Copies of this chain bind each other. A is one copy, B any other.
Amino acid sequence: MDKIASHTSLHQLLCFNIYTLNRSFGRYYQAAFSETGLTYPKFVILMALEMAGPMSVSDLSNRAGVEANTLSPLLKKMAEFGAITRARAETDERRVDVAITPMGQEILNRARTIIAKGFEALQIDPKRLSDTLEFLNEARDKVEKADPPKVGLDGLTEQS
C-alpha cells in the first residue's frame, strides 16, 4: 500500500483510499452486526425507513443510494427476518410499500447506540471530519455528473 501511495496521482489515491476504507468499514460493521442478521446495507435501509417512514422501493432506492434491483432481494430477506413489512400499494398496484416493524426498530436502536459508542472510541476530530464530509459530498456530486472518458483497446495485441 505504501508503494501505491508514493507512486500514484492524488486522484487515483482518492479512489484507492475510498475503496479500501469502504471495505474496512464493511468488515467493522459485519463483525459488530454478526449476531443480528444485519449488514451495513441493511442498516442503511432501516435508517432510511425510520427517518422518512414507509415508502416505495424506488423512494428507498433514492434515499439509500442503492439501485432498486439490489434492494429487491435484500428487502425480501429482511421481511422474512421480520425487520420490515412489504405490501402492494392499494392506490397503485405497481408500487410496493416498505415499512420498518417494531422488531426492526428495536434492532436499529441497539445497533445505532452501540455503533455510536464504538466510533466515539476512535477519537475522530469533528472539525476535520466535517471538512472531509463536505469534500466527499462535492466529490461525489462531480463524479456522478461527469461522463466517464472511454478507454479503448484499438490495435492492442497479445504482443504489445
Contacts and interface: CB of A to CB of B under 8 A. Distances in A.
Contact of A143 (B25, B112, B129, B131): B25
By size class, the interface of chain A is 35 or more
A16 B26 CA distance: 11
B102 A159 contact: yes
Given A10-B129, A148-B28, A160-B102, A48 B3 contact: yes
A64 B21 CA distance: 12
Interface of A: 1, 3-4, 7-25, 28-29, 31-36, 38, 40, 44, 47-48, 51-52, 62-65, 82, 102-103, 106-107, 110-112, 114-124, 126, 128-133, 135-137, 139-140, 142-144, 146-153, 156-160
